[in-house]
Amino acid sequence: MPTLVSHPDEVKVISRRFGQGAANIDKYIELDGYKAVQQAIAEGPEWIINTMKASGLRGRGGAGFPTGLKWSFVPKQSEKPKYVLVNGDESEPGTCKDHVIFREDPHAVIEGTMIAGLAIGSKLGFIYLRGEYRYLLKIVEKAVADAYARGFLGKNIFGTGVDFDIITQSGAGAYEVGEESALMESLEGKRGVPRIKPPFPAVVGLYGGPTVINNAETIANAPHILLMGGEAYAKLGTERNGGTRLFGISGHVERPGVYELPMGYSLRKAIYEVAGGIKDGKKLKAVVPGGASCPVLTADEIDVGLDFDQMAKAGTMLGSGGIVVLDDTVSIVEFALRTIAFYQHESCGWCIPCREGTDWIKKTLTRVYQGGGNKKDVDNVQYLAENMMGRTFCPLGDAAAMPTLGFVKKFRKEFEDYIEGHKAGTPIITVQQLVGAGH
Amino acid sequence: MSEVANTIFSPELAARFDHLVTIYPMRRSALVPMLLYAQDEVGYVSDAVVTEIAQRIGLLELDVRNVLSYYSMLRTKPAGKYNVQVCTNISCMLRGGYEILDHCKAKLGIGHKEVTKDGVFSLEEVECIGACCWAPAMQVNYDFHDNLTTIKVDEIIETYRAGQGKDVK
Ligand SMILES: Cc1cc2nc3c(=O)[nH]c(=O)nc-3n(C[C@H](O)[C@H](O)[C@H](O)COP(=O)(O)O)c2cc1C
Ligand code: SF4
Ligand code: FES
């Protein structure tokens, strides 16, 4: 059960209602709830999209695509119905922020879905939660039912002549389903494997209709942005990175938790001040800054601002905002193995570089970890990961390769020392032997 | 009134399914949640569940099995009454997730994906369950338990053993 934390440096926009019982519709309304959507109905799609563009909000699901722009890509005229799809699959290891939103402020997700629907001319939205979040699904289902009971959803919402419906949906366990096209497949009752792009979801999405798909945090930001104004929201963050975002800080810190910080906030301060520093007075070793797929930063690389551009410049990613902190007792070999084991488990198996690559990396690191490694293994792992990059249908292949490359490049010596220290006399296994000759 | 002769589900679940297939632009969209809800009631996705869901949606059984095999939460064998799922992914691992898993193994006397003889508990090592900031964490059925210590795990397991644990479905 999420324990709510807070820190004076937080700037509370999306977390403004946390801890106040806003899952209750009356409380939500009392705290300005359902005002933004009524304003959105009055002002119309162009105003909504312009406000979202002005806010500088970038998607909170990982890739950081500008939300206003995404919404503007949906064709105005369409023969097929248009849809809004809220991605609440939240399966990136290290990430648990949407969990808190669904629990503390489910109506913000509902209201945001309605706003996105108005912006693109859709009458039906879906809120898809991972199967494990059943208790949260119940909270969201209740919130949706309450909104229907008030006439906020359904036909003629708020007596304005506008119709909008929301369907809540449950997954059944598959990381890959968080990928947007795989999510649509899953929602259509199929195996959650990705679709080939183009066409992009904005043009051909769910049931073949134009679809906006956004992360739950992105969507939940929309009502706040409309209420405070796009420019005011943008000003909270940095250039090209508007606003604030929820960061989950986990691992070896004194006060792990989900905190709302302005975009561009110092990673060092997030770890040492907001999250109270390294647990038990130990030393920092490394940080995985935005969920498991983001390349690791070493202890001397944390003077960087938490926004999409600064993190990219630092050679890593802001990702899903899940900051995982490692103290100096952690074995990077073990940590890298645990990371790749996840991606190997979750590969949908469609493309060879991802299916075979994750498997070979895992097998190699397993052997290294078990003491049977050879120095050549570090090169092998790097070679395998490099050959996965950009060669797969969906970004899961990259998501597996990127952290692997980060670990072996930045901690090569540790891998080599580990192998040296665990000499077990196993013969050299070459890359050719590993991947099979002639492939 | 049920569209399909209901043989295995409770009247409540059957009614829910009757409704579920009507709300989507495409009936098939109900498949994944239906499999999950059926599993919650029956304990696993049995052959009979597959047959009936296929009929309710109007799919081939093969289609249903094809989807069923993709999702890790769906199982074709019974689990324990209380399915203990311990996360050992990165955030949990850093805060003792493996110790929690080992402790559960020892305490319950079973390994990964095994069921206790009395059928009360089953155990699984799982990937991140979205409770990273409250690590180490586990789920018992759909209940989250976090900031775990081995002492806390003992208490939780005893509560379930005594039939007093929450059992959210
Ligand atoms: C393998 C994989 C898993 C993903 N998992 C999630 C997820 O759990 N939640 C999420 O919002 N986005 C996830 N994404 C990103 C989505 O594909 C998509 O970019 C995002 O939902 C778009 O929303 P945004 O623009 O609001 O960020 C994942 C992407 C990949 C490649
Ligand atoms: S990259 Fe991996 S997960 Fe994505 S389509 Fe290929 S095999 Fe499937
Ligand atoms: S890593 Fe265990 S819940 Fe996320």
- Looking at residue A2, its pLDDT comes to 82
Q: Is the CB of A394 under 6 A from ligand 1?
A: yes
3-state secondary structure A258-316: EEEEECCCEHHHHHHHHCCCEHHHCCEEEEEECECCCCCEEHHHCCCECCHHHHHHCCC
Counting ligand 2 atoms within 8 A of each CB, the residue from A180, A348, A362, A398 with the most, and so the one to mutate, is A348
- Looking at residue B2, its pLDDT comes to 46
Q: Is the pLDDT of residue B115 over 70?
A: yes
| pLDDT greater at residue B94 or residue A433 | B94
* Contact between A179 and A396 (Cβ < 8 Å): yes
Mean pLDDT of A203-224: 98
Mean pLDDT of A107-132: 98
| pLDDT greater at residue B166 or residue A204 | A204
The candidate with the shortest Cα–Cα distance to A247, out of A3, A15, A8, is A15
The answer to the question of whether B104 is labelled as a binding residue is: no
CB burial of residue A158 (10 Å; 0-12, 13-18, 19+):
middle
Nearest CA to ligand 1 atom 12: A61
Q: Is the pLDDT of residue A97 over 70?
A: yes
Find the Cα–Cα–Cα–Cα dihedral A400, A402, A407, A409, rounded to 10°: 140
CB contact under 8 A, B74 and A256: no
* Contact between B114 and B122 (Cβ < 8 Å): yes
Partners of A241 in the beta sheet? A238
Q: Is the pLDDT of residue A144 over 80?
A: yes
Please, which pLDDT band fits residue A435 given cuts at 50, 70 and 90?
A: very low
Mean pLDDT of A26-46: 98
Q: Measured between alpha carbons, how far is B19 from B15 in angstroms, rounded to an integer? A: 6
CA of A44 relative to ligand 3 center, distance in Å:
41
Sign for the pseudo-dihedral over CA of A127, A133, A134, A138: negative
Residues of chain B whose beta carbon is less than 8 angstroms from a beta carbon of chain A are 23-26, 28-33, 35-36, 57, 66-67, 70-74, 88-91, 93-95, 127-135, 139, 142-144, 146-147, 168-169
Predicted confidence (pLDDT) per residue in A370-397, tens digit:
888 888 999 999 999 999 999 999 999 9
Which stretch of DSSP H or E encloses residue A68? helix A67-72
Q: Is the pLDDT of residue A428 over 70?
A: no
Mean pLDDT of A55-75: 97
Q: Is the pLDDT of residue A328 over 70?
A: yes
CB contact under 8 A, A95 and B74: no
CATH classification for the domain delimited by A332-438, as one of 1.20.1440.230, 3.40.50.10150, 1.10.3210.10, 3.30.565.10 = 1.20.1440.230
Predicted confidence (pLDDT) per residue in A177-208, tens digit:
999 999 999 999 999 999 998 999 999 999 99
| Average pLDDT of the residues of chain A | 95
- Looking at residue A370, its pLDDT comes to 84
| pLDDT greater at residue A171 or residue B169 | A171
Q: Is the pLDDT of residue B40 over 50?
A: yes
Q: Is the pLDDT of residue B4 over 50?
A: yes
A25-234 and A244-327 in the same fold: no
- Looking at residue B1, its pLDDT comes to 40
- Looking at the complex, does the CB of residue A173 fall below 8 Å from at least one CB of chain B? yes
Please, which pLDDT band fits residue B7 given cuts at 50, 70 and 90?
A: confident
Query: In sequence order, what E strands does A141-216 have?
Result: 154-157, 162-170, 211-215
| pLDDT greater at residue A197 or residue A356 | A356
- Looking at residue A181, its pLDDT comes to 97
Predicted confidence (pLDDT) per residue in A288-308, tens digit:
999 999 999 999 999 999 999
Please, which pLDDT band fits residue A422 given cuts at 50, 70 and 90?
A: confident
Counting ligand 1 atoms within 8 A of each CB, the residue from A57, A65, A92 with the most, and so the one to mutate, is A92
- Does the domain formed by A244-327 have CATH 3.40.1280.10? no
User: Which 278-297 residues of chain A touch chain B by CB within 8 A?
Assistant: 288, 292
- Looking at residue B148, its pLDDT comes to 98
Pocket of ligand 3, beta carbon within 6 A? A 93; B 87, 89-92, 128-132, 135, 137
| Average pLDDT of the residues of chain B | 93
Measure Cα distances from B10 to B1, B39, B73 in Å.
13, 12, 21
Mean pLDDT of A236-262: 98
Q: Is the pLDDT of residue A241 over 90?
A: yes
CATH classification for the domain delimited by A25-234, as one of 3.40.50.920, 3.40.50.11540, 3.40.630.10, 3.60.10.10 = 3.40.50.11540
Please, which pLDDT band fits residue B167 given cuts at 50, 70 and 90?
A: low
Q: Is the pLDDT of residue B54 over 60?
A: yes
The candidate with the shortest Cα–Cα distance to A38, out of A115, A136, A141, A138, is A115
- Looking at the complex, does the CB of residue A258 fall below 8 Å from at least one CB of chain B? yes
Predicted confidence (pLDDT) per residue in A268-279, tens digit:
999 999 999 999
Mean pLDDT of B32-54: 96
| Domains of chain A by residue range | 25-234, 244-327, 332-438
- Looking at residue A125, its pLDDT comes to 98
* Contact between B82 and B167 (Cβ < 8 Å): yes
pTM to 2 decimal places: 0.95
Could you say which DSSP state residue A238 is in? B
Mean pLDDT of B145-159: 97
Q: Measured between alpha carbons, how far is A392 from A346 in angstroms, rounded to an integer? A: 14
| pLDDT greater at residue A343 or residue A2 | A343
Mean pLDDT of B110-116: 95
CB contact under 8 A, B127 and A346: yes
